[in-house]
Structure 1
Amino acid sequence: MEEEKRPYLSHFQDRHGKTRWRYRRGKVTISLKGSPGEAEFEEAYQAAIEGRKPRTAEVSKMPGAAAPGTFRAAWTKVKRSPEWIAHDPATKAKNVRLAEEFLELPIVEGHPELWGDVPIKDLKRRHVKDILSHFSATPHKAKHLLVTIRKMILVALDEEWIETDPTWKLSYRPEYKGWRAWTDSERAMFEARWPIGSTPRTAYALALWLGNRRSDVARLKWEWFDFRKGNVTLVTKKGDKTLVLPITPMLRETLAPLSRDTETVLLTQYGQPFSEKSLTGRMADWTHSADLPKGCTMHGLRKSLGKMLAETGATTRQLMETLGHDDIEHAELYSRAAEQERLARDAMTKVTKRYQTKKPKG
């Protein structure tokens, strides 16, 4: 028997017929968990022999470790999905920043528990609303965060960790409309300050007459332009979407005097391509030099083109294909604004005519 080989060790059958082990020495009796040969049993027996408390193994959390069913585990699966792999680097980077901020967000301020370690099945609708309220000062960030959280919820649904989506039909539409379009007078002031042939005027024209984002304006290459056919072909950095855009007479006039011996159309004073961030900073300097008010940004020129397209009758589909939008809601913002202005003008014109007709003479 095992107890004969080890001093003070004995066993017995409990009322359920299960074998139990104990250490008995004089008046001291200590119950031992497990069975001989098991790590927990061996440590408890040795501790009883030595007259100390059993030692427990220290559990160290490995970096990136995630308990099954938690948001952190779901995010790990998101990054392995085919949909994630298909995203462009800029979209991935934005989602990673938002996800990491959410995963490290305390459930309750001042307490160590984080949302990343919460089982998704415990998420309630009120929790999501509370999370989004933390970002009320940056409403567009809150909107994008909701999209990122939903990626994790979709994984939970696929893995059958949950049966329903707590964010179903939960919308977050920020009232903030983003960067505004430039006015006609602001564009005229900029053009008067920066003549054709200058770098500021070139950057301005590319952003306005192609409607590209700064990420695409900064990397536009001469080889993408086909002046014989009258178009430029580019693959957008955001969304990896191929656009074939016409070269308008206004843009052609701006590009005509420029040297085409360089790779990119835009170059810094050091002969290097602009980065996205540096182009934003330089545009701020250029608009300030032209005495323009704050708010005249490069993205505002993209808004200006969208506004002009809508005002001249472009359809929503035409707006989407010109500006590279995948979301119809973005394009409809321009259409609705132009339609509202037109309808209001037509309505007030009718009222004015009627009033002036009925107004007594003399």
Structure 2
Amino acid sequence: MSAEVFKVGAVWHYRFQVKPFPRVQRSTRLRDRTAAGRVADKAYAATVVRANGGDPVPTLNQLLVDWLDVRGRHSSAHHIRSVETFGRLHTYGMDELLISQLDTDAVERARSKHLATHSHASANHWLRVLKLLVRWAVRREILPRLPWSVTMLPVQKRVRAILPLSAAMAWFAAVDRASTRSPSIGVAARLMLWLGLRESEVITARWEWIDWERGTYTPGKTKGKEADALKMMPWLVNYLTPLRQSEGLIVCRADGSPYGAGLARRAIRVANATCSTKGITPHRLRGTIATVMSENGAPIQSIQAYLRHKDVRTTMAYLEKNTDLIDTAQAKIAEKAGLTWRESGERPEGEPYRT
């Protein structure tokens, strides 16, 4: 059962009945059949939901506005920016559709438009934002399930940059020189690497969250609302001690006001150019400490706790492969198997010649 669309003169009308409500018959005031059908479907869907005691089915634009009003108050800055950008630039004509009308064909066509100017990775992010919004409607029981079935596009994984520890001191010195008027930027960069803090966590970091006796730092405002104490390296404690304050922001402007997002972007870009370290970003500093910990024998569960990830699979995505460790492992395997003589040309006792 659905709305019946019919023409009276040059204008399209619709009618339907959903029990227990009386029959509905109205004019769309439109001369275009497709546009009139969308109006009729919207009215019919809203009536069906009301009849079932739920909320009316919103358009994608209405859902987006509602999400920002309700969920935006306690979502991460990243999620908010993603949803705002999606709504402003990337709805591709779907904004006026009821979310129940976002079927597989509509979503795939919109994604194709996105792919005309964006990469596969960007299209996957676009689809994740759309799912974020509509799944919220599913949780509110506005829809029974996602009305489409569209899979992510395959994306070739690229090796992401990590900051070589041998270049770390020179790199931090370059950051300091690039931010002489804002010395807190150097502090921010060190917290991102040695404590694995996110940029948003650095911006809100406070002196009173440091336990100087135990040498730990407990982030008070985090993405996942965690409150786990992080063990600070003795070197980091020594670096922060001369700067120590009883309270307040650790990273702030000269007048004590907080920085915004991107606070270290320029200094990091200068340091990368100076030290020939391509691809280092605030988040890759976090990835660097995770990779270095793994290379030095820290269990994945410990790294997960240090980065405060809820899912260990997220932690695994931060770890970059180190082929030097593979070479070392291969050498140990060869030694235990008695294969090292093949390179030297000397045959160990008891080992037969082979052709």
- TM-score above 0.5, yes or no: yes
1:144 partnered with 2:128: no
**1:28-177 counterparts in 2 under 5 A?**
67=42, 68=46, 69=57, 71-72=59-60, 75=63, 79=67, 84=71, 87-101=74-88, 104-105=91-92, 114-125=93-104, 127-133=106-112, 134-135=114-115, 137-154=118-135, 155=137, 159=141, 165-167=147-149, 170-172=151-153, 174-175=155-156, 177=158
Unaligned runs of 5+ in 2: 1-27, 31-38, 47-56, 348-355
Name the residue aligned to 1:242: 227
CA contact (8 A) 1:267 1:274 kept: yes
Unaligned runs of 5+ in 1: 1-55, 59-64, 106-113
Name the residue aligned to 2:263: 278
CA contact (8 A) 1:150 1:167 kept: no
Residue aligned with 1:166, SS: coil
Q: In structure 2, what residue type is equivalent to 1:274?
A: Y
- How far the C-alpha of 1:284 sits from its partner, in A, is 2.7
Name the residue aligned to 1:299: 283
- How far the C-alpha of 1:361 sits from its partner, in A, is 5.2
Call closer, same or farther: CA 1:291–1:332 in 2, change over 3 Å: closer
1:347 partnered with 2:333: no
- How far the C-alpha of 1:180 sits from its partner, in A, is 2.0
Residue aligned with 2:243, SS: coil
What RMSD in Å do the two structures reach over aligned CA positions?
A: 4.3
Paired-residue identity, %: 18
**1:209-228 counterparts in 2 under 5 A?**
209-228=194-213
Partners of 2:159 and 2:326 in 1: CA distance = 24
Partners of 1:78 and 1:86 in 2: CA distance = 11
Q: Calculate the TM-score normalised by the size of structure 1.
A: 0.64
- How far the C-alpha of 1:173 sits from its partner, in A, is 5.7
Indicate which of 241, 256, 259 corresponds to 1:256. 241
- How far the C-alpha of 1:285 sits from its partner, in A, is 3.7
Call closer, same or farther: CA 1:215–1:161 in 2, change over 3 Å: closer
- How far the C-alpha of 1:212 sits from its partner, in A, is 0.4
Moved more, 235-244 or 120-129: 120-129
Residue aligned with 1:354, SS: coil
Call closer, same or farther: CA 1:219–1:101 in 2, change over 3 Å: same
Q: How many residues align?
A: 292
Indicate which of 275, 298, 303 corresponds to 1:319. 303
CA contact (8 A) 1:200 1:283 kept: no
- How far the C-alpha of 1:322 sits from its partner, in A, is 0.9
Partners of 1:202 and 1:188 in 2: CA distance = 13
CA contact (8 A) 2:86 2:126 kept: yes
Name the residue aligned to 2:315: 331
Q: In structure 2, what residue type is equivalent to 1:314?
A: A
- How far the C-alpha of 1:301 sits from its partner, in A, is 1.5
Partners of 2:299 and 2:105 in 1: CA distance = 39
- How far the C-alpha of 1:80 sits from its partner, in A, is 8.6
Cα deviation, 1:184-220, whole Å, max 9, x if unaligned, reads: 233132245559x964542332111110011111221
Partners of 2:248 and 2:297 in 1: CA distance = 36
Partners of 1:203 and 1:157 in 2: CA distance = 38
Name the residue aligned to 2:215: 230
Residue aligned with 1:117, SS: coil
CA contact (8 A) 2:191 2:202 kept: yes
Partners of 1:190 and 1:81 in 2: CA distance = 42
Call closer, same or farther: CA 1:291–1:252 in 2, change over 3 Å: same
Call closer, same or farther: CA 1:71–1:228 in 2, change over 3 Å: same
- How far the C-alpha of 1:100 sits from its partner, in A, is 0.7
Call closer, same or farther: CA 1:209–1:319 in 2, change over 3 Å: same
Q: In structure 2, what residue type is equivalent to 1:346?
A: A
Residue aligned with 1:331, SS: helix
Whose Rg is larger? 1
CA contact (8 A) 2:291 2:320 kept: no
1:184 partnered with 2:165: yes
Moved more, 72-81 or 319-328: 72-81
Call closer, same or farther: CA 1:129–1:306 in 2, change over 3 Å: farther
- How far the C-alpha of 1:228 sits from its partner, in A, is 1.5
Partners of 1:240 and 1:157 in 2: CA distance = 21
